[in-house]
Amino acid sequence: MKEYKYIGKPEIRIDGKEKVSGAAIYTDDINFGPDLLYAFIVESPYAHAMINSIDTSEAEKHPEVLAVVTGKDFPYKFGLYMQDRFIFAQDRVRFIGEQVAAVVARNPKAAKKAAKLVKVDYTEIPAVIDQMEAIKEGSDLLHEDLENYDHVPWFFPKPKTNIAHWRKIRKGETQKGFDEADYILEDTYDVPRYAHCAIEYHAATGLYDKSGRLTIWASSQSPHTQRHLFAEALKPLGFTHKDVRVIAPHVGGGFGSKAGVTMEILAAAIATKVQGHPVRIMWSREQEFYNTYQRLGVKTFLKIGVKKNGRITALDHKIYWDAGAYVEYGANVVNAVGLSAIGPYNIQNASIDSVCVYTNLPPGGAYRGFGYSEFLFGLESHMTRIAKHLGIDTIEIRRVNAIREGDKTAYGANMNPNGLLKAIDAVEKEIEWHKEYKSSDPNKVIGKGFSLLWKAPAMPPNASSSCFLKFNEDASINLLVSGMDIGQGYLTVMAQIAAEVLGVPPSKIRTENPDTDRNPYEWQTVASHITWGSGNAVKKAALNAREQIFDLVVRTKHLPKDSLYLEDEKVKCTQNPNFELPLREFVIAGIQMSDGTFKGGPILGKGTFLPEFSTAKSNPETGQGGHPNVHYTTGAAAMLLEIDKQTGKMKVLKAVEAIDAGKALNPDLVKGQIIGGLVQGLATVLYEDMRYGDKGKLLNPNFTDYKIPTAKDIPEKIVPIIIEVPQPDGPFGARGVGEHTMLPAAPMVANAVADALDVRIKSMPVTAEKIVLAYLEKKNNRMLK
């Protein structure tokens, strides 16, 4: 293993001082002065209704109101993967909270007051809020002209149904595989919707200035993608991409909720109606819950066949997604899971149907894990149940089936190098799996839970990254990139990559949040791909700068190029130990020759990265033939769960998670991801519980009724373990870990409950109430026998 100077070291976060001192600026912290206007959105009270008329006359009369806009002002569609959404509702609303109109006023109170004066006349039509109802023959349709929607070529909508996309995988001979099985387990699992709960709201301020420039400041994971979608949607107004600018300050948590475009497009559109004035929109906590992306709900039907030794012979996974009213982003979650729902296993015969279903609930979208948490709940519960039935150790059955490098994925590509088996070993050892655990309290039992995890970045095959790197007079560096540090430490790690290549300490490198006018293109900060993709671009930019430096030294000092290297902010030479040329002497000013002239000039590095081997082209009926996923990150986790038999109350005594990061560029940040992600995952299974009324209204859109963990609700002990099996095409071997950390939490809890009390909970969340009821039922049945 090469010894690096800055890579693999726990470098201090470069945004640390800003964030602990109050200096960090988030979107709503920017001061726009006394001319700032405020927009308040009029939302649909119905899950499904036709809009007969909108009367804005009363609102317009309000003395402090400058503008009232409706769908008539913006008959424009947008959508990242599927163009099924209008900026404002046109003739129909499809979920409670959908934007129908907006009122712009001098102050927020006036805007809110005047919004109440907008009169919308609706005719309610039947709503479908359950995906299994929505796919039935004759169900009311949400999108009657689905066949006319533009979408990416790898989506397969079914016109005249509520099915927006259907991803099929047919690998090997599934029926034959089941025929060969000694044991088949078939069951269904339910996972409800979840909310991201970033502590910062969505916020966006738009300014359409008098020169015709449209600037949007937004809390965003996707500044360039947002600029693209704004420019495309508003093209009829005469905008081109160069006229649109997105500035993304610090982001107070994303988790997928600030990926793509949700409310930000309202700021862009409304700004065009109040030219010259900045206009601000900020969601409330309630709107955060019901009017941004949510995690999709899902019902899975899983059938797995195995031999007596635990070897899987066939898998049939049918996955029905409640994707909400618009699936412009969420349909890609469905697609990603369709490609990967065999889990981290080597399975020769597999059939997967991942079905994206429109419902009259808020649009589903990206959420940390991108659908993998949802199918792993069922799959990893299933694996433990099968092991128990066969009398095989629950870890052993995973070892037997674990996917190895070179094995074929569900779509027929080769699995990348990975440390899955190492992760299994590490977790087994740390949790002391074969030890008997007994509670000192007779009312309590301790269960052990185990789960594997895997995930690939879900992204188009041409998702690209880029970087400009510029030296300053003192050889300090500004890195211009457009990924977002949503907390994971991106800005710091990019600096470490450049530092390692150029021999300049990270403390002398500044990486800033992007402005699409100044910073080069980045697709989005999603898919846990940013360290890998943007990291590759940064490394290439640094190598490009190094090349320029060496060329100049060769040209002026006449040293062989292959003898030069960079260290301690100097150019050094292997052939001449006395040669030392400090970077600060020439990276801007150039090198002076004996005749007084200068050679060189400012050193500017440039790097771009696009995974040129990736393709989404495949047979739509089998999913075979493409290479849609660039690689998978794998890992394993286990826990000790103490349960009170009388109340069902649970306490996590210890949780262990091992993830194969390829190369942990900053181990402290990776550990931070593991702990934070695992707690967020545990929250979805132990605490969070999204409740909808039968009319499609979210009943608990606040932190009082939708519980996320506090400092008192965390496991007594979490042990993060980093595995490093390098990713050949990653920067220094790195691959992403951000989302993966959440994935094993839910099945691990369900498996620990089953281990402790021999009851199997097949729907999330796994609450104390569910456990006690199941346990009592089991006890009563035993007594009746």
Partner 1 sequence: MKKISINLNGEVRYIYVEPNDVLLDVLRDKLGIKSPKSGCERGDCGACAVLIDGKSVRSCLVLAIEVDGQEITTIEGLSKNGLTPLQESFIEHNAFQCGFCAPGVTISATELLNKNPQPNREEIQEAIAGNLCRCTGYESIIEAIEKIAKK
Nearer to partner 1, 381 or 488 (CB): 488
Task: Quote the least distance from Cβ 675 to partner 1, whole Å.
Answer: 4
Contact region for partner 1 (CB under 8 A) — 163-171, 441-449, 517-525, 672-680?
672-680
Structure tokens at 486: 């949503």
Does residue 675 touch partner 1 according to CB under 8 A? Answer: yes
Q: Phi first, then psi: give them for residue 56, nearest 5 degrees.
A: -105, 5
Strand partners, 604: 470
Task: Quote the least distance from Cβ 333 to partner 1, whole Å.
Answer: 20
Do residues 521 and 257 touch, judged by C-beta distance below 8 A?
no
Among 1, 21, 694, 783, interactor with partner 1 by CB under 8 A: 21
Q: Are strands 244-247 and 214-218 parallel, antiparallel or unpaired?
A: parallel
Do residues 706 and 688 touch, judged by C-beta distance below 8 A?
yes
Nearer to partner 1, 314 or 679 (CB): 679
The residue to which tokens 């281990």 are assigned: 755
Task: Quote the least distance from Cβ 485 to partner 1, whole Å.
Answer: 8
Nearer to partner 1, 255 or 320 (CB): 255
Nearer to partner 1, 31 or 440 (CB): 31
Among 57, 136, 175, 199, interactor with partner 1 by CB under 8 A: 199
Q: Which of 673, 473, 490 is nearest to 481 (CA)?
A: 490
Do residues 6 and 506 touch, judged by C-beta distance below 8 A?
yes
Does residue 243 touch partner 1 according to CB under 8 A? Answer: no
Among 17, 61, 136, 518, interactor with partner 1 by CB under 8 A: 17
Does residue 19 touch partner 1 according to CB under 8 A? Answer: yes
Structure tokens at 278: 């900045």
Contact region for partner 1 (CB under 8 A) — 38-46, 272-280, 471-479, 676-684?
676-684
String of contacts with partner 1 for each residue 516-555, x by CB under 8 A: ----------------------------------------
Contact region for partner 1 (CB under 8 A) — 7-15, 55-63, 304-312, 445-453?
7-15
Task: Quote the least distance from Cβ 473 to partner 1, whole Å.
Answer: 27
Nearer to partner 1, 322 or 485 (CB): 485
Determine the Cα–Cα distance for residues 721 and 741; give it in Å rounded to an integer.
11
For residue 597, the SS3 value is coil
Contact region for partner 1 (CB under 8 A) — 376-384, 486-494, 609-617, 771-779?
486-494
Q: Phi first, then psi: give them for residue 604, nearest 5 degrees.
A: -125, 115
Q: Phi first, then psi: give them for residue 550, nearest 5 degrees.
A: -65, -40
Do residues 99 and 362 touch, judged by C-beta distance below 8 A?
no
The residue to which tokens 């050193």 are assigned: 603
Size of the site for partner 1 (CB under 8 A): 53
Q: Are strands 604-609 and 633-644 parallel, antiparallel or unpaired?
A: unpaired
**Integer angstrom CA distances of residue 228 from 250, 255, 502, 739:** 20, 21, 33, 25
Nearer to partner 1, 22 or 126 (CB): 22
Does residue 33 touch partner 1 according to CB under 8 A? Answer: no
Task: For the segment 294-313, give every residue that binds partner 1 (CB under 8 A).
Answer: none
Among 102, 120, 251, 356, interactor with partner 1 by CB under 8 A: 251
**Integer angstrom CA distances of residue 602 from 475, 528, 542, 572, 700:** 11, 34, 14, 20, 57
Helix (H) or strand (E) holding 176: helix 174-179
Nearer to partner 1, 29 or 147 (CB): 29
Does residue 31 touch partner 1 according to CB under 8 A? Answer: yes
Does residue 656 touch partner 1 according to CB under 8 A? Answer: no
Do residues 477 and 471 touch, judged by C-beta distance below 8 A?
yes
Among 591, 708, 773, 776, interactor with partner 1 by CB under 8 A: 708
Nearer to partner 1, 26 or 156 (CB): 26
Among 421, 679, 686, 734, interactor with partner 1 by CB under 8 A: 679
Among 601, 703, 758, 777, interactor with partner 1 by CB under 8 A: 703
Determine the Cα–Cα distance for residues 764 and 193; give it in Å rounded to an integer.
10
Q: Are strands 718-723 and 650-660 parallel, antiparallel or unpaired?
A: parallel
Structure tokens at 616: 């989404």
Determine the Cα–Cα distance for residues 158 and 700; give it in Å rounded to an integer.
33
Site residues (vs partner 1, CB under 8 A): 12-13, 15-22, 24-26, 28-29, 31, 196-201, 250-255, 284-285, 486-489, 668-669, 672, 675-680, 702-704, 708-712, 714, 718
